Chain A
Amino acid sequence: MDENASARLTRRALTVAHRVSLFLAMLVICLPGIWIVLSSLRPTVEIMAKPPVWIPQEVSLDAYIAMFSGIGKGGIPVLDYFRNSLIISVTSTVIAVAIGMAGGYAFARYRFRGKSGMFLGLMLTRTVPGIALSLPLFFLYVRLGIIDTHIGMILAYVALNVPFTIWLIDGFFRQVPKDLAEAAQIDGCTRWQAFWQVEFPLARPGIASAAIFAFLTCWNEFALASQLTRSVNSKTLPVGLLDYTAEFTIDWRGMCALAVVMIIPALTLTYIVQKHLVGGLTSGAVKG
């Protein structure tokens, strides 16, 4: 065996090892999701079968039909939950992004005293665990009479999202060269006009990603929602999942079906923004 042949062999072995480990990693990542989708399509008997049935014998959409057919027919008020989730998420996202744009612009374009302290301070408000915040909020909301309302949830979610939208939008505005806005101002724009006509359009994809990220945070949030919502008036989908659990039993099939309904919008939106999101988070990482 000469050296060339053995080198070639090592290289091939490395390639195969790389492929195999990549495949295994992706399998571990995807399998739980695939399993959920599969379980939502199988009859409960098959899910509970012992020994397990690996290959589905019959596939049906019964779980989805039951879910949407309303209370009393094995369904839960999923349409109400869906509407609540949508209203709360969209409204709080719009407000959070508006506030985040103002704040992000301030951090990206101005120098002022206590800037980094301020930035850290805003971030720290995000670290308060939802469950810890829910105690005083619960008390306050009961006093103000906005427990179990959309307004209450929207307020809470705006506050939850503002620190992060500021971080992201700050990153996107930093990627827009300062000179462009200055050139526009020299050409006679006011700062306001320069912002809307030059900087905003350039940062728009990034701001859109910040919006989607905020939307997903609201869409998926559970710790606050589980304490601040009580009924179909404001219960969101993550809290609605609990409707499938009883004291000792869980309707796995129905739950898997609702999980799929929840995950589809999240999946689509995340796919759209993934590239911009990473750009916004890491901008300024290389040059501080």
Chain B
Amino acid sequence: MKGLKPSAPFLLLLPAIVVLAAVVVLPLILSLYSSFTPFRLTRPETFFVFIGFRNYLSILSNADFWWAFGRTVLLLTIALNLEMLLGLGLAMLVEKATRGQRILRTLMMFPMMFSPILVGFQFKFMFNDNIGLVNNALQSLGITQDAIPWLIEGHLAFIAITIAEIWSSTSIFAILILAGLLAMPKEPIEAARVDGCTPWQTFRYVTWPFVMPFAYIAMTIRSLDVARAYDIVKIITDGGPAGRTELLWTLVGRTAYSDARMGLANAMAYFSILLSIAFTVYFYNKLAAARAQIGAEW
């Protein structure tokens, strides 16, 4: 601490730091503390009883929690990978289109405008076994006679949720990858073709390395907000049937508000926070690496 005047960037960042400290960091410290207490909303005096790691120990031995944890990781892995692939495919389809690109690009962004909770209701409606669009279509086309119990059978419900999640987020990947494709210089591709590359080789060794940072931007943005799947699951199945689609986040919500066991829920919440941070840091580092590589090559 030398000199009386703090530096300009520090002053400029101060408001952001203050707000985030007050609304995010401080509450998180509070919840960290309460995860070491048997705190229940209905009995405020329990807030001051210290029980050490007992909440964490009871989580570690709780099968439901580990199922929810595993299911969350599975959902994120499947969804993020498929979103990436489908987004790439969609972006390339749109980029190849000779006419109506503007309209196509607008249509492509359509799902981005839907709030996750709307996506939830929409797919709950469409996958309804009795009146849903999906079953109606399948039955009218004669593919199946019986109504498929989409949201009533555990595995099917998980598939339905994955589809909803993918539908709502593929366009983020598509739009950013498309931006990458459009920003790409044309000469390297032509050069590759002249040198006799097959279309696959051109894609693999010329297009893909260039587009990769854009894909990682999309990944980073998505991982900042992976928990939006909470809204979707909350609405479509609310963790049911019989806990078969329970994710970490819905489990936290249920433990905290329905069972009123705040201390335990906060301990669980810390697992979900660590999961999100792990995803974000991973993709942020990938992004930095990909940027550095591009910078060196082009």
Task: Name A residues whose Cβ lies closer than 8 Å to a Cβ of B.
Answer: 18, 21-22, 25-26, 28-33, 35-36, 39, 47-52, 54, 98-100, 102-103, 105-107, 110, 112, 116, 118, 120, 122-133, 135-137, 139-140, 155-156, 158-159, 162-164, 166, 216, 219-223, 226-227, 238, 241, 250, 252, 255-256, 259, 262-263, 266-267, 270-271, 274, 278-279, 281-282, 284-288
Given contacts A18-B93, A132-B249, list 11 more A-B pairs with CB under 8 A: A21-B93, A48-B130, A123-B284, A125-B24, A127-B226, A140-B27, A155-B19, A238-B118, A274-B175, A279-B179, A282-B214
Give min CB distance, B219 to chain A, whole Å. 12
Please classify the interface of chain A as helix (H, G, I), strand (E, B), loop, or mixed, using the class held by over half of its residues.
helix
Q: How far is the CA of A123 from the CA of B97 in the complex (A)?
A: 36
Known contacts: A120-B281, A132-B249, A286-B298. The answer to whether A238 contacts B115 by CB under 8 A is: yes
Q: How far is the CA of A14 from the CA of B100 in the complex (A)?
A: 18
CB neighbours of A51 from chain B (8 A): 136, 139-140
Give min CB distance, B86 to chain A, whole Å. 9
Q: How far is the CA of A105 from the CA of B267 in the complex (A)?
A: 37
Q: Are B116 and A156 in contact (CB under 8 A)?
A: no
How many inter-chain contacts with C-beta < 8 Å in the A-B complex? 268
Give min CB distance, A153 to chain B, whole Å. 11
Q: Are A54 and B10 in contact (CB under 8 A)?
A: no
Q: Are B23 and A126 in contact (CB under 8 A)?
A: no
Q: How far is the CA of A18 from the CA of B95 in the complex (A)?
A: 11
Q: Are A131 and B266 in contact (CB under 8 A)?
A: no
Q: Are A286 and B110 in contact (CB under 8 A)?
A: no
15 A-B pairs, CB-CB below 8 angstroms?
A: A28-B167, A32-B126, A33-B114, A128-B28, A129-B276, A135-B262, A139-B34, A159-B19, A163-B20, A166-B16, A216-B113, A223-B231, A238-B115, A252-B131, A270-B112
Q: Are A26 and B107 in contact (CB under 8 A)?
A: yes
Tell whether B4 is near chain A: CB-to-CB under 8 Å: no
Of B113, B176, B252, B273, the most chain A CB neighbours within 10 A belong to B113
Q: How far is the CA of A133 from the CA of B281 in the complex (A)?
A: 19
Q: How far is the CA of A250 from the CA of B125 in the complex (A)?
A: 10
Tell whether B221 is near chain A: CB-to-CB under 8 Å: yes
CB neighbours of A139 from chain B (8 A): 30, 34, 41, 262
B1-53: which residues lie under 8 A (CB-CB) from chain A? 7-10, 12-13, 15-16, 19-20, 22-28, 30-31, 34, 41
B257 partner, pick from A30, A221, A227, A287, beta carbons under 8 A: A227
Q: Are A287 and B110 in contact (CB under 8 A)?
A: no
Tell whether B69 is near chain A: CB-to-CB under 8 Å: no
Q: How far is the CA of A102 from the CA of B8 in the complex (A)?
A: 10
Tell whether B186 is near chain A: CB-to-CB under 8 Å: no
Q: How far is the CA of A139 from the CA of B292 in the complex (A)?
A: 44
Known contacts: A155-B23, A262-B115, A286-B294. The answer to whether A129 contacts B175 by CB under 8 A is: no
Give min CB distance, B276 to chain A, whole Å. 4
Known contacts: A99-B16, A285-B291, A288-B295. The answer to whether A112 contacts B9 by CB under 8 A is: yes
Q: How far is the CA of A125 from the CA of B20 in the complex (A)?
A: 7
Chain B interfacial residues counted at CB < 8 A: 100
Nearest residue (CB) in B for A132 is B269
Nearest residue (CB) in A for B33 is A136
Q: How far is the CA of A65 from the CA of B234 in the complex (A)?
A: 29
CB neighbours of B34 from chain A (8 A): 136, 139
Q: Are B284 and A131 in contact (CB under 8 A)?
A: no
Nearest residue (CB) in B for A220 is B115
Nearest residue (CB) in B for A49 is B131
Q: Are B110 and A266 in contact (CB under 8 A)?
A: no
Known contacts: A32-B126, A162-B16, A220-B116. The answer to whether A281 contacts B27 by CB under 8 A is: no
CB neighbours of B259 from chain A (8 A): none
Known contacts: A99-B15, A241-B121. The answer to whether A282 contacts B20 by CB under 8 A is: no
Q: Shortest 6 CB-CB distances between A and B: which pairs?
A: A220-B115, A129-B227, A159-B23, A132-B269, A136-B27, A288-B291
Nearest residue (CB) in A for B263 is A135
Q: Are B94 and A22 in contact (CB under 8 A)?
A: yes
A127 partner, pick from B123, B175, B276, B291, beta carbons under 8 A: B276
Known contacts: A39-B125, A135-B262, A266-B113. The answer to whether A47 contacts B16 by CB under 8 A is: no
Nearest residue (CB) in A for B114 is A263
Q: How far is the CA of A159 from the CA of B224 in the complex (A)?
A: 14
Nearest residue (CB) in A for B24 is A125
Known contacts: A30-B110, A129-B276, A140-B27. The answer to whether A25 contacts B224 by CB under 8 A is: no
Nearest residue (CB) in B for A227 is B257
**0/1 interface trace, chain B 55-88, chain A, CB 8 Å (1 if under):** 0000000000000000000000000000000000
Known contacts: A159-B20, A227-B257. The answer to whether A112 contacts B273 by CB under 8 A is: no
CB neighbours of A116 from chain B (8 A): 288
Q: How far is the CA of A107 from the CA of B34 in the complex (A)?
A: 35
